[in-house]
Chains A and B, each alone.
Chain A
Amino acid sequence: MDMPIAAIVVLAAGTLAFRLAGPLFRDRVRIPPRLEDLLSVAALVLLFALVVTSSFAGWARPAGVLVAGVLAIRKAPFPVIVIAAAATTAVLRLIGVP
C-alpha cells in the first residue's frame, strides 16, 4: 500500500487554503448561505458513498456494516457501534462465511 508524501502534502495544502480563505479575505468576500449548505451536504454525500463502496466484499463485511448502521440509528455509543461491526464480521468469518 503506497501513499506518496507529495499526495499528502497536496491534500494538506488544499485543505489549508480552504481554512485560510475566511480569515484572510472575510472583509472582501461573503459566502452565500446556499453555497455553505451545498458544501456541507456534499461532504455527507461523499462520506456515505465511501461507506457504500467500501462495504461490499463477500458477506461478512457488509453484515458488520449493517449491524453498525442499525446500532447508529438506535443511537448506540460510538465505540459500541465500531466494535460490534468488527465483531460481527470476525464471528461470521470464524464460522466460514467469506
Chain B
Amino acid sequence: MAMRSISRTALRDIALVCVADAIVGASFGAIAVSGGFDPWVPVVMSLIVFAGGAQFAAIGIVMGGGGVVAAVATGLVLNARLLPFGFAVADVLKGRVYGAQLITDETVAFALKGRDARERHDYFWVSGLALFAAWNVSVVVGALAGTFIGDTDALGLDAMFPAVLLALIMPALAERRVRVPVLVGGAIALAASTVLPAGVPVLLSLLGLLARPKEA
C-alpha cells in the first residue's frame, strides 16, 4: 500500500480531524464510565462499532432509562447512512474489504476529495487508520479518566453529552432542507417524551422527515 499522493495540506487536515475526534472520543469514554458503565463497554463498543454518533446514542438512551432495544435500534438507524457511503468508496476497498470497518463520515469525506483513484485510495486509508487509532486510544483514556471522577453531576458532565451532539450537528442545520425536519422531529420527540417511555420518543422523531421541504 504505497502512500505517495498525500499532500502536506491533506496530512494536516487529517491530523486536525484526528485531534477533534480524539476530544470527542475522550468525552465519550468519560461520559459512559461516569454515567455508570463498566470501562470495557465504551472501549469494546468503540473498537467494533466505530461510529461516534451511534455510540453516543446507544449509551445515552440506556443512561436515560430507554432500554437496550431502543438503544440498538436508534444506533442502527443512525448508521444506515453508512450504506450509501459504502457504495461511494467501494472502488477504494477493492480487494481489501476489511477496510469497510473504517467507513465513517470523516473518512468518506476525505476519500471523495481525491482527484483520482490513487488519491482517493490514499486519503481513505491514511485518514481511516489514523482516525481508528485516535478514536480508540482516546476512548480508553477517557474511560480511565472517568473512573477517577467522583461526583459527575457537580462537574456538569451530564450536560456534556447533549452539548457534544449539538456541536457536531449544528453546522448541518445551516441548510433549511435539513433544519426543518430536524426541528419538527425534535418537537415530536419532546412532546412524546412527556407520555412515552424513554427511547421511543427518539425513534418517533423520524416522523419529522415527513416535513422535509420539497426541493426547488
Q: Please report the C-alpha to C-alpha distance between residue A54 and residue B198 in the assembled complex, in whole angstroms.
A: 10
Contact status of A43 and B78, CB under 8 A, knowing A1-B36, A90-B156: yes
Output the least CB separation between B26 and chain A (Å).
10
Flag if A22 contacts B85 (CB, 8 Å).
Answer: yes
Complex interface: stretch among B6-14, B113-121, B136-144, B181-189: B181-189
Given A11-B72, A11-B75, A42-B80, are A85 and B23 also a contact pair (CB < 8 Å)?
A: no
Docked complex Cα distance between A89 and B157 (Å): 8
Indicate whether A42 sits within 8 Å of B206 (C-beta atoms), given known contacts A48-B169, A52-B186. Answer: yes
What's the Cα separation between A38 and B185 when bound, in Å?
Answer: 14
The answer to whether A15 and B51 have CB atoms under 8 Å apart is yes
Task: List chain B positions with a Cβ less than 8 A from chain A.
Answer: 20, 23-24, 27, 35-37, 41, 44-45, 48-51, 53-54, 56-64, 68, 71-72, 74-90, 93-94, 97, 100-101, 103, 153-170, 172-173, 177-178, 181-183, 185-186, 188-190, 193, 198, 201-206, 208-209, 212
8 closest cross-chain pairs (CB), A and B: A22-B86, A1-B36, A89-B156, A49-B205, A64-B159, A85-B163, A90-B156, A68-B163
* 15 A-B residue pairs with CB within 8 Å: A14-B72, A23-B93, A38-B209, A44-B182, A47-B53, A48-B165, A48-B166, A49-B204, A55-B162, A61-B156, A65-B159, A81-B166, A81-B167, A90-B155, A94-B154
Additional 11 contacts, C-beta under 8 A, given A21-B87, A44-B178, A45-B205: A1-B63, A11-B71, A22-B86, A44-B173, A46-B78, A47-B53, A47-B169, A53-B193, A54-B64, A85-B162, A90-B155
